[in-house]
Amino acid sequence: MIQAFGLTSNSRKDLPPAVDDVSFEARAGRVTALLGATGAGKTTALRLMLELEQGRGLTYFRGRPLHRIAHPSREVGVLMGDVPGHPARTVRGHLRMLCAAAGVPVRRADEMLEVVGLVSLRDERLGTLSRGMDRRLGLACALLPDPHTLVLDDPTEGLSTRESHWLHGMLRAHAAQGGSVLFTTSEPKEAARAADHVVTLEQGRLVADQEVTEFARTRLRPRVAVRTPHAARLAALLAKEARTAHRSVEVVQEGGNRLSVYGSTCADVGETAFRHGVLVHQLADEIGDMGPGAGPFPGEAAEAAQDPLAGATGPETGELLGDRALGVAGPEMRGGPAAHDDFASPSGSHVRGARVMPADPEAHGGQMPHSSRDTHSGPAEGSGHAALSPATASRAPAPLPPPISVRSAPSPLRPLRYELRRAAGIGIGFLTGAAVLVTSALTAVVLARVGHTPQARLLAAWPRELPLPPAALGAGLLGALAFGDEFRHPALAADRGTVPRRLGLLTAKLVVAAVTALALAFFVVGCDAEVLYLVYGRELTEVPADWLSLSASWFGLVVGCAWAGVLAAGIFRSTTAGLAAVVSVPILVVPLVRKALDGGSVRAAAGLPARLREVLLLQWPFGGERYLAGAVRVVAQPVGGALTLSLTALLCAYLLTALRSRVR
């Protein structure tokens, strides 16, 4: 159950707030629609409820505000706009990554692909998905942790009618299993079809909070939809008979061959057409807007224009098409009168010059997992039988996967699994590593050809003129991508509005970045040594005598650059800023450190290892004092000291940023 109290957005200069003192409830087991025209404040209200925007008011999800819920994604599933995922990631890879983030079994990804009908597209990239498929994936992401509540912002925008009916069927199925569903829409007819309760906003204020039957009675009115090639003649006949019988009937020609008749019934309109020999292609009850000029439901007009039978005039087209609008008013669910299908007979023969045909049963893209075919019920009034449209059929609960029992994994493992799947889900890391290996090998060959480069630097492809070797730059880029991609494609932002700055996630990124940097450093040295051996022989590939300290310095440099990229990108929310921080270490920080070491502190730094050995006693287990002295020598070098200072400053800035966001 959702309870919103006094939602009020912050004022915008001299303009009134977008949402002003809005309070309503969305009960469990029901679908609630938040209705309003564009600019009425629907999206702002949702953002206030989800604590994505600053303002006043409270929202409780089953009695708790969102910031008091330990795992928000398991309580509230959110679909706002397109799926926020890296366009190069596959559909299945994206869901598996979110499984790790939510702490649910990985099999849940395959279950949700079956539910939303994306099994055949599981290897497609996110950037290639159509609008309808993107919305299906977004719904799968929202349902992945089996949340109790679904919150969706205009989920059917840009979808075809079939896709809209399918999506509303999924929402109905979730509500039938006891969940709460809240979605926004600007279409009154959509709210009447899909919701049990309608909350209406106008200019940021609550103007109505109604059950759907009351909403349909007070804010909508029924009409008869007619499609005929003789629209003008039939309109004149209906108006004439209404004047003769002193009945209040309003006939509106919607354009082309479509009429909307208010104040009449399918039976009366059909009898008038039969008596005067007017050919009818469609006759159906609908729910219209407050005004008589309201058009069809979004997508219906386009589908009607593409229907090859819509404008046919042959002898077999004196048929009443089972249009998707038939039953749209929901009489089967709302308790209203059943649709008048007096023109249909069980044998399919012509009765009064017309018979009912089912609508096109094919689903959009062949991906409809639940049937939306029109079906026939038992005999209705007279000799006819009622037809169920996809809108009616979607009311039946769609099969959802069974609820899952979530066992929280140990806190370090869940973000680590997430980070591993995030890093391995796209190919940019592998491409970067390959580019670093090729660049480093070519650079080493050129340096050996030119000469005057020490062997240690030759193996690292690090000339004195280059601020950092290719391996360090590559490790810094991969580290910057670890957080840069999160902010560019915020897959974790649905439940909190921004990328979380939890220490568990930071630790996972640092661990994965360090392992990646170590592997890259090892392969670079091996690749450079192998290429130098092939080109110049064994002379340039001998192991240096002080290989231990050189290895410590080399691995420390590469890992330090990777960590600097991670921290800087997390602070400044940009991959470019992370890489810039890595490059700034040798260009800006190292000269400052060297200038400081040129002073009187040089002698102190030179004797520091010996004094540390004396102060920190003498003998460590397993010769640990040697490793400590090696680490001190690395830090005492200009590049090592600069990296140490930079990492310390970046870590403090990250912790300060995380603390500030948590205080908010």
Q: pLDDT tens digits for 190-236?
A: 998 899 999 999 999 999 999 998 888 777 878 899 999 999 999 99
Q: Which amino acid is at 562?
A: A
Give the total residue count for the chain: 664
Q: Stretch 632-638: mean pLDDT, rounded?
A: 57
pLDDT value at 618 more than 60:
no
pLDDT value at 358 more than 90:
no
User: How do beta strands 55-61 and 180-185 pair?
Assistant: unpaired
State whether residue 377 is helix, strand or coil: strand
pLDDT at position 529 is 92
pLDDT at position 15 is 83
pLDDT at position 14 is 76
Banded model confidence at residue 545, pLDDT cuts 50, 70, 90: confident
125-129, 374-378, 480-484: least confident range: 374-378
Of 517 and 614, which is predicted with more confidence?
A: 517
pLDDT value at 299 more than 70:
no
The per-residue pLDDT of the chain, averaged, comes to: 78
Q: How far apart are CA 180 and CA 103, in angstroms?
A: 22
pTM of the model: 0.71
pLDDT value at 263 more than 70:
yes
Of 401 and 41, which is predicted with more confidence?
A: 41
pLDDT value at 406 more than 50:
no
91 Cβ partners below 8 Å, 6+ apart?
Answer: 113, 118, 121, 122, 123, 124, 126, 129, 137
Q: Stretch 144-169: mean pLDDT, rounded?
A: 93
Tell me which range, 108-122, 323-337, 602-616, is most confidently predicted by mean pLDDT: 108-122
Banded model confidence at residue 146, pLDDT cuts 50, 70, 90: very high
- Ordered by where they begin, the domains of the chain are 2-217 (3.40.50.300), 220-393 (no CATH), 413-663 (no CATH)
Of 367 and 28, which is predicted with more confidence?
A: 28
Q: What are the C-alpha distances in Å from 169 to residues 116, 173, 369?
A: 11, 6, 11
pLDDT value at 237 more than 80:
yes
74 Cβ partners below 8 Å, 6+ apart?
Answer: 102, 145, 146, 147, 406
pLDDT at position 433 is 95
Banded model confidence at residue 291, pLDDT cuts 50, 70, 90: very low
Q: How far apart are CA 317 and CA 230, in angstroms?
A: 13
Q: What DSSP designation does 66 have?
A: G
Token couple for 390: 């996809």
pLDDT at position 253 is 85
pLDDT at position 440 is 95
pLDDT at position 365 is 38
pLDDT value at 163 more than 70:
yes
Q: Stretch 450-473: mean pLDDT, rounded?
A: 87
pLDDT value at 615 more than 60:
no
Token couple for 429: 């890391």
Token couple for 143: 């349902």
Token couple for 605: 């730094």
Token couple for 308: 């090859």
182-191, 341-350, 484-493, 516-525: least confident range: 341-350
Strand partners, 357: 321
Closest-CA residue to 224 (of 304, 317, 288): 288
pLDDT at position 295 is 41
Q: Stretch 76-94: mean pLDDT, rounded?
A: 92
pLDDT value at 346 more than 90:
no
pLDDT at position 537 is 86
Q: Stretch 315-333: mean pLDDT, rounded?
A: 31
pLDDT at position 627 is 59
Closest-CA residue to 139 (of 156, 122, 162): 156
Closest-CA residue to 81 (of 492, 573, 494, 365): 494
Banded model confidence at residue 436, pLDDT cuts 50, 70, 90: very high
Q: How far apart are CA 111 and CA 113, in angstroms?
A: 5
Banded model confidence at residue 531, pLDDT cuts 50, 70, 90: very high
Banded model confidence at residue 589, pLDDT cuts 50, 70, 90: confident
pLDDT at position 155 is 94
Burial 607-629 (b: 16+ CB within 10 A, else e): ebbeeebeeeeeeeeeeebeeeb
pLDDT value at 327 more than 60:
no
pLDDT at position 404 is 57
Q: Stretch 132-157: mean pLDDT, rounded?
A: 94
Q: pLDDT tens digits for 35-84?
A: 999 999 999 999 999 988 889 999 999 999 988 888 888 899 999 888 88
Residue entry with tokens 């679909």: 79
pLDDT value at 399 more than 50:
yes
Tell me which range, 24-33, 214-223, 414-423, 623-632, is most confidently predicted by mean pLDDT: 24-33
Which long-range contacts (C-beta less than 8 Å, at least 24 apart) are formed by 7-13?
7/45, 7/48, 7/49, 7/55, 7/56, 7/57, 7/59, 8/48, 8/55, 8/56, 8/57, 9/41, 9/44, 9/48, 9/53, 9/55, 9/204, 10/54, 10/55
pLDDT at position 20 is 92
pLDDT at position 286 is 78
